[in-house]
């Protein structure tokens, strides 16, 4: 991959053989955030799981204490009285038939989809092949299929994120912006990491957290020392 001059300058400032504690790592990521926009702090965890086995599929959600710094566009697919509930909670788009048609025509201007259980049969049949591959399909396990649709919308707007291990055993999420203070980013990381630790599948043997890498949107990855982070984030 061809790297820009800026990227090469940034990577020259990192010793790839070193791994850092959480505070030092976050400080270095902020130091390397030189893009002309407010970059995101990205976290990549490599887990010792085999996602091919259902019992080792790590997925969940967590509300970050300081939010993500991103305004999430929420689409609420529901009918009847639940439409008003979703609207009052702050959903950006609310309805059903018209949005089913728009999505089928290629419209995808939203970040999260929430739905009530009564419409999931139709959503799966009509939109499964569109939303599924993009990770946008509502799911009860992630809290996006619920009769409490107003609460779901409010939690997402407040900074709730979803995560799911990919087929390579990696979870990748954004947990805040470079404009956040180091302490805010640290607290967001801890909330996310603690949730990952609680979700450790009972069938996993050996090392669960294999590696931890953080970066800003346009910068190189910085390795965190797994043992130091595990010692700092205790549950």
Residues of the chain with CATH 3.40.50.790: 74-157
CATH of 74-157, one of 3.10.180.10, 3.40.50.300, 3.40.50.790, 3.40.718.10: 3.40.50.790
Give the CATH fold of the 15-67+160-232 domain.
Answer: Ribulose 1,5 Bisphosphate Carboxylase/Oxygenase (3.30.190)
Residues of the chain with CATH 3.30.190.20: 15-67+160-232
pLDDT of residue 1: 54
What region, left, alpha or beta, does residue 105 occupy, with left being phi > 0 and alpha being psi -120 to 50 degrees? alpha
pLDDT of residue 142: 81
**pLDDT (tens digit per residue) in 26-71:** 999 999 888 899 999 999 999 999 999 999 999 888 999 999 998 8
Q: Give the pair of three-digit tokens for residue 92.
A: 């950006």
Q: Which helix (H) or strand (E) holds 155?
A: helix 149-157
Cβ atoms of 44 and 227 within 8 Å: the answer is: no
pLDDT in tens, the chain (235 residues): 556 665 566 666 666 778 999 999 999 999 988 889 999 999 999 999 999 999 999 988 899 999 999 889 999 999 999 999 999 999 999 999 999 999 999 999 999 999 999 999 999 999 999 999 998 999 998 889 999 999 999 999 988 888 989 999 999 999 999 999 999 999 999 999 999 999 999 999 899 999 999 999 988 889 999 999 998 887 6
d(CA 110, CA 159): 15
Burial class of residue 179 in the structure, from the number of CB atoms within 10 Å of its CB (0-12 exposed, 13-18 middle, 19+ buried): exposed
Residues 6 or more apart whose CB falls under 8 angstroms from that of 196 comprise 45, 47, 58, 60, 163, 171, 209
Cα–Cα distances (Å) from 167 to 51, 145, 171, 201, 218, in that order, read 6, 24, 10, 16, 24
- The half-sphere exposure of 66 on its side-chain side, counting CA atoms within 13 A, is 19
């Amino acid at each position: 991959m061809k790297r820009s001059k800026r990227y090469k300058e940034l990577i020259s400032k990192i010793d790839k053989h070193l791994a850092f504690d959480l505070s030092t790592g976050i400080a270095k990521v902020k130091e390397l955030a030189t893009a002309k926009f407010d970059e995101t702090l990205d976290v990549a965890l490599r887990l010792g799981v085999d996602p091919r086995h259902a019992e080792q599929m790590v997925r969940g959600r967590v509300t970050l204490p300081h939010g993500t710094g991103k305004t999430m566009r929420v689409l609420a697919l529901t009918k009847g009285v639940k439409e008003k509930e979703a609207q009052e909670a702050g959903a950006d788009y609310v309805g059903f038939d018209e949005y089913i048609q728009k999505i089928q025509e290629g419209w995808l201007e939203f970040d999260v989809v929430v739905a009530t259980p009564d419409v999931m049969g139709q959503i799966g049949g009509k939109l499964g092949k569109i939303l599924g591959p993009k990770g946008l399909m509502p799911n009860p396990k992630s809290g996006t299929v619920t009769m409490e649709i107003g609460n779901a919308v409010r939690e997402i707007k407040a900074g709730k994120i979803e995560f799911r291990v990919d087929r390579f055993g990696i979870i990748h999420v954004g947990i805040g912006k470079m404009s956040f203070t180091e302490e805010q980013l640290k607290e967001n990381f801890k909330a996310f990491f603690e949730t990952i630790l609680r979700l450790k599948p009972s069938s996993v043997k050996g090392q669960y957290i294999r590696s931890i890498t953080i970066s800003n949107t346009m910068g190189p990855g910085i390795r965190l020392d797994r043992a130091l982070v595990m010692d700092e984030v205790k549950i």
